[in-house]
Every structure is written in C-alpha cells, then in structure tokens.
Amino acid sequence: MQLKHWKLERDADGLAWAILDTADSSTNTLGAAVMTELGLILDECEKNPPKGLIFKSAKEAGFIAGANIEEFTSADTPEKARALIKRGWETYNRLAAVRYPTLALVRGHCMGGGTELALACRYRIAVDEPGTKFALPEVMLGIVPGWGGMLRLPQIVGPAAALDMMLTGKNIDAKRAKKMGLVDACVPPRVMENAARMLVRSGKPTRQQQLPFLQKLMNGPLKGFVASGARKQVAKRARQEHYPAPYAIIDQWQNYGGNTLAVPAGEPTSLDALINSPTTRNLIRIFFLQDRLKAFGKDAKDFSPRHVHVVGAGVMGGDIAAWCVLRGMTVTLQDQTVERIAPAVGRAAKFFEKKLRDKKLARFALDRLIADPKGDGVRQADVIIEAIFENLEAKQALFADIEARAKPDALIASNTSSLKLADIAAKFKDPSRLVGIHFFNPVAMMPLVEVVAGDVTSPEVAQRAAAFVRKIDKLPLPVKDAPGFLVNAVLGPYMNEAMKCVDEGMAPTTIDAAMVAFGMPMGPIELADTVGLDVAVHAGKQLVADAVPPKKLVELFEAGKLGKKSGQGFYTWVEGKAQKIPEGTHRAGAGDTGGSAELAQRLLKPLLDATQRLVNNNVVADADLADAGVIFGTGFAPYTGGPMNYMTGAKT
C-alpha cells in the first residue's frame, strides 16, 4: 500500500498506528488525497483487523487543522459541495462502524474535520499542553460541521454543550475537553502513547454509552425543547438573514440527524442555501484576509522577544502588559509610583485566573509581571511600548530617556492613537527606531493591532514590530502615519454622525438599535460611552472635518459625564452595563421617522467615505487590507465582507 500522507504502522502488541503527515504542508489538512488514503487504511484494517487503531499526528504544529479550505472554496456549486460533504460523511461513518476499537491521540490543534475524525473514534485522549485545542469552527465560515460533528458531538457531550461549541466555534482546551466529556483522558506528553495503548485495549464503555439519561432524552424526545432554546439564544446575537449557518446547525441536528445531505435543496437551512449565500462567500473571504494579516512579520524570523517593558500603567498600558504576560513574556510595568501600578497588577491577577482557570498557573503568570516605577527594565527589554497620555511634549521627553538607555537592538514603540509618529520621533537621535504599535480597547478582546510606520521608520523595524504582534497572537495591520491611522479615522466620522442624530432629537437607543440590526456588535452611541466621551471630544477635533462638535457631546463632557468610566454619559452605566431606557420615554425628533435601514445607511456613509479616502491616500495598502482592518478593529458586520466589499456589492 503506497501512501503519501499517512503511515500505517503495526506494533508487536497487534495495535495499528495511523500517523498523518500531510505532504508539502506545515499542518495536517484533510484534502481529497488525504481522505482517499484514509479509506485505503480502513480497507487494509478490514482485511487484517488490528487489536486497536490509534490516530496520531507526525506534525509538531498539531493534530489536524481541518479540511483543506482551498478545496472547499473551489466547491463553488451545491453539487461540488455535496460531493465534498459526502466524502467526509461516508468515510467517518465507516470509521465509526468498525468492529475493532479506535482512538484519536490529540496533541495540538484539532479543528473542524480533525475534531470530527476524533469524534468518529471510540476513544479520545487529549495531551495536556497549552496548544491542544478542539473546535468545530465551521460556523465562522458560514457553513456547518457536515462530516458527522452535528451527529456525534451531542451524543458524546450532550446537546447543550455541543450546540454551544458548534454555534460559537470556540476553542476547548485539553482540561475543559476532559471535564465536559469530549475526551476520555487528559494526559501529559511523556505518557501519551502508553495511555493510548492502555485505553484502546481496555474495553471501557464509550462516552456515548456513559451519557446521562437526561442528556439522552435531550437528544431524543426533548430535542424540540433544546432546539427552541438554542434558536432564542442565537437570535440575540445574529439575525438569520445575515448569518444562516447557526440556524442551519440547529435545524439539521433537530430534524435531520445531523446529516446535511438529507436536507431538501429548497429548504433555507440546506447546504444549497448556505453555498449560495453571500454571507458564506464573505466569511470565507475574511478567513483568507486573516491569513494575510498573520503573514506580516514573517520576514523577521530571527526576532524572538522575551522581555517587554511597558510605560504607563493605565487601563491600556496595564492591559497590554497583562496580555504580553499571558502570551508567555516577562513584562516590567512602569509608572510614576508603585501605587499607580498596583491597580493594573490587580486587574491582571483577575484576568490570569479567568483565562488560565488554574490558580498555580495564574500565580506563575503574575510573577512575570514586575512593577518597575524607576524604569530599570528599559535596559534589558527586547520591546519597549509607551502607553502614556496623549501629550506630545511628555512623550518626547520620555522617549529621549528611553532611547538613551535601551539596548541598541530593542524595538521602541508608541501606542499613540492620535499623535503623528513623525512628531514624536522628532527629538530622537535615530528616528528610524520608532514605530507605532497601536492596540485597541479592550486589549484582550480586540484581535487587531495597527503597526504604524512613520516617514523615516526603518522597514526592518516595522517588520520586527509586526513579528512581535504575531508572537503575542494578535493580527498586525501595516498602516502609514496619518491622523487616526485606519480604525480610528473611520470610527470618528461614524460616531460623530450618530451624535448629530442625538442633537436632532433621536433616542440613543434608536440609533444603536439601527446599527445592531445592521450587524454591528455595538451601536455608535454605546461605543462612544464605552471608549469615553473625553476621548470622543479629543478624537473629534483630530479626525472629523466638521468644526462644530455635537452639542450633546460637549454638554456631557463639560459636566464631567464621560460615559462608562464615570457611570453617566449618553447612558447611565451600572456594573459596567448601559441602562437603556425604553425608546418611548425619549423625546421624539424629526429623525425618528425614518426606518432602521435608512438610518443605518445614513450612519454608515461617513464611515464608508472615510475608508475609501484612506485607501485612495495609501494609508493602508489596498482595499482588502482596509476591509480586514475595519472588521477586526471595529467589529464591522462580518457578513458584509468589510466596508469596501460592502460598497462594491451595493453598487452592483
């Protein structure tokens, strides 16, 4: 048997090992050739049944990254898509039906079709390492887990947990996978192969057999009740006309046994409907745009920063420091006094406990966050990030000290959001060293980081900055040194237009509801309150051509009502949440007469115009990168494919 992507090895105990090593690829993906060879392996094992078949990866990068996305995108008709789904569905059903025991030994990422392969095995073991993650992320691409995930995952972990995993696409780590019943064991690397041998030969009942009686009922007579609850939860986050895939997952699980091939073509939840949906095309486009962002910084392969020094322990600086620690780095955090640093350390401690879910690991992480009021860490740091208040003179004075003390090869960066990098660098002895690394708030949630190159920033420095952003698991977007760069430059006019609507008498809730209905994660008025009305006033002066600021904004600012941070802005804030008064209690204005869609278009126009202008002015390299930046930096409705793509669609 000639295999290019797999190895089938048999040991003295009669066990067979199917080892995946996808040729000419750094990761394992399940393309047509790989799946064909899997069928050949099952043929061989049918002829000479082993005492057990164990699947593992030969790649250091992980177990299986999922289906081959390039092959999927070429399946641009329902007929081609059905053939692709049928291949995986039938192969995995065949694997699930073999008489000999099977086991998936998962080390590293296990995504999409990889998780579905593991689900088709009798047993699963997760290796207890940070990189071990399970996910069924198909919904993020506008499609469904069609190779058996919708059938088997609810039978193994129960429908509530399974639907949550499939409808969000979220990652599940090794410990969580064991706790929820997704895997049978979670073991350290040193014993993983022995653990696999023991479990596959144990005769232990499967997870399906061990599922509690109530969970079995929820997979049977109570399916309708579970599905109804799931639809209500999905409806709170996504409209079916914008995102049909989550509704298709619920329907196919409830009514078709998780078999997407069984759904009649005319149904709105069918594979045909999903393949023909513009949402699916746009979400797949975004997937490739994300890959393009991830590629920035690859040229700086030899840059491996371990020590980060952050100056400024406010919300932004403190959160940048905490995120870098979470990604494995040692961070010295500088501010004027230890007392000013203490709140950031306290926030970081809670953040680590929440993210790591292990008090010992959280304590180890906190040990790598070092209060440094004197700034001694500058001398040893590989990366230095300034995150103080937006004052040119203060930044220039700070950087004069940093440049004098920093290592010659240290990366020196500013997190400025509104000042020109060239102005900050004017007092540098070597201004080519300064680069912008602009994070967004909240740091832990926002995936994008703008990498700002000033007129004299060295290209090598910009590459190293992008490499650093990737090493902390963020998406770098190269932008030129212009007011607001990309993201803030498009948000400023958008939020300004929304506040003009308030001045005209529209209710903030009406304005926000229109944009949430369009697909934004948050309305512009709530967003202004969240970032701070003091920031909105300052940004408006820098980024909006209209010389007259919105009256209500100025009124609130002068009264010290700064939004979420003060507890009162356009909304009243209680425990971090905006208290939205029913619309009927607001004064109606002329602007309230328009429909939600018309209002959304009015609010979008300044954002779209600004995006087009920035592309024309080469602030960002091209329209595709502008779409990626605005989606990942603002949450712009992903189903549209981004503002530039949306405008193209609107014109056609």
Cβ atoms of 629 and 508 closer than 8 Å: no
Nearest to 493 by CA among 578, 391, 613: 613
Q: If you count them, how many residues does the chain have?
A: 652
Query: Catalytic residue among 5, 109, 309, 438, which?
Result: 438
Q: How far apart are the first and last CA of the chain?
A: 53
Q: Which two tokens stand for residue 628?
A: 């990626």
Nearest to 599 by CA among 528, 526, 512, 520: 512
586 annotated active-site: no
Tell me the C-alpha distance between 93 and 173, whole Å: 26
The amino acid that residue 605 corresponds to is K
Cβ atoms of 45 and 17 closer than 8 Å: no
90 annotated active-site: no
Cβ atoms of 88 and 30 closer than 8 Å: yes
Query: Catalytic residue among 270, 277, 282, 417, which?
Result: 417
Strands 330-334 and 307-311: parallel
Question: Long-range contacts made by residues 437-442, C-beta under 8 angstroms, separation at least 24?
Answer: 437/385, 437/413, 437/465, 437/468, 437/469, 438/485, 439/316, 439/319, 439/320, 439/415, 439/474, 440/487, 440/633, 441/315, 441/316, 441/319, 441/531, 442/319
Percent of the chain as helix, strand, coil, to the nearest 5: 55, 15, 35
The set of residues, in sequence order, having a beta carbon less than 8 Å from that of 161 and lying 6+ positions away, is: 180, 181
Strands 133-135 and 172-173: antiparallel
Give kind and range of the element (H or E) at residue 421. helix 421-424
Tell me the C-alpha distance between 519 and 513, whole Å: 10
Query: Catalytic residue among 116, 450, 497, 526, which?
Result: 450
Residue 257's SS3 state is coil
> Alpha-carbon torsion 598, 603, 604, 609, what sign?
positive
Query: Catalytic residue among 57, 415, 488, 496, which?
Result: 488
450 annotated active-site: yes
Nearest to 581 by CA among 527, 520, 512, 533: 512
Tell me the C-alpha distance between 40 and 368, whole Å: 50
Burial of 314 (0-12, 13-18, 19+ CB in 10 A): middle
25 annotated active-site: no
**CA 628 and chain centroid, separation:** 13
Give catalytic residue positions. 417, 438, 450, 488
